[in-house]
Structure 1
Amino acid sequence: MTTTAPFPTLETPRLLLREITADDAPALLAIHGDAEHMKWFGTEPLTELAQAQTLVETFAGWRRQANPGTRWGLVRRAAPEAGLIGSCGLFAWNRSWRKCTLGYELAPQACGQGLMLEALQAVLAWGHESMQLHRIEAQVHEDNRASRALLARLGFAEEGRLREVAWWGGRPHDLLMLARLAGDAGAGAR
């Protein structure tokens, strides 16, 4: 994966997973600025458009790093002009260890429809195939029941607790470590 390679656009039955652009900053602000909905994301809520623009640049920068990643913007195939409804991605790629980390978020109005399950099935398959990943990790707050259930459906196994590994909202948080190995990939078809 290099900056000269074209962005890996993916399609699912209902979604187009595409590159996040500067035009997506207002949608990212709406999603990441919703403090209640994003309470488990691991960062402080965004409050200004400039912060969302920086987030767009951060995601684009992942593809230029020594341990790169890819972040996809999610839009509905039936109405791409309606804009971004979330994002997901693989980052912190350790090529020699054949592993990386998974992250994702969805706009509140898009939750509960199986859209992130659909998106992540495509992303995980792409990661195992195109990045040759053996292990994909996810760190989740134990109170984030929806995310834990989603990861379980995708074949992730809970491996333990990372004590006070994250800091947001003015205090430290424990996170659960979950992982999916290439051999576990069939579990995500449920």
Structure 2
Amino acid sequence: MVAARGAVRRGHFALSSGLHSDVYVQKFRVLEQPQDARRLGAAVAALFDSGFDVVASPAVGALLLGFTTALAANVRFIFAERVDGVMSFRRGFRLEPHERVLVVEDVVTTGGSAAEVVALLRLAGARIEGVGALIDRSGGPRAELGLGAPFRALLRLQADAWPPEVCPLCASGEPLEDPGSSRPSGKSLD
């Protein structure tokens, strides 16, 4: 479905993790049809059969997949967002101590945003059942990514990523594109 929707792009991209890559996944191409989003949310929920009471996602990229996962499991949905560069829960979201939470991400490269949400949830006393994702492009072992919770993804994508200072595409003068949602790009419909 990812390839069929034209969601995988090739070029030179700045990722929200700060890394550069020759592959970018425009996950909203996969999620733009409601029936597909609903099906993918149900598939993520099914990866965690131990059960959970709440789905939590980092804003902005994972909101839709997180919501459809919660919808499929018929549980509450909350999200964390950056305030002055720090991930936090706002908008009156509350957790009861020991609630079982599934963190849902869209595309995982380093696991940084998911780790921030996991840390927030632990501070609130939640029990992390796992981290689910649409795509794992971390290139590492699928076990935990250092999240301290089981990590499972619907699709694993092999894609190189480099710190900017050692990026071979930068060294060769390839123009850099910044298509992500974490930083404003000034672009509209493309």
Q: Normalized against structure 1, the TM-score is what?
A: 0.33
- Bigger relative contact order, structure 1 or 2 (CA pairs below 8 A, ≥6 apart): 2
TM-score, scaled relative to structure 2: 0.33
Structure having the larger proportion of residues in helix: 1
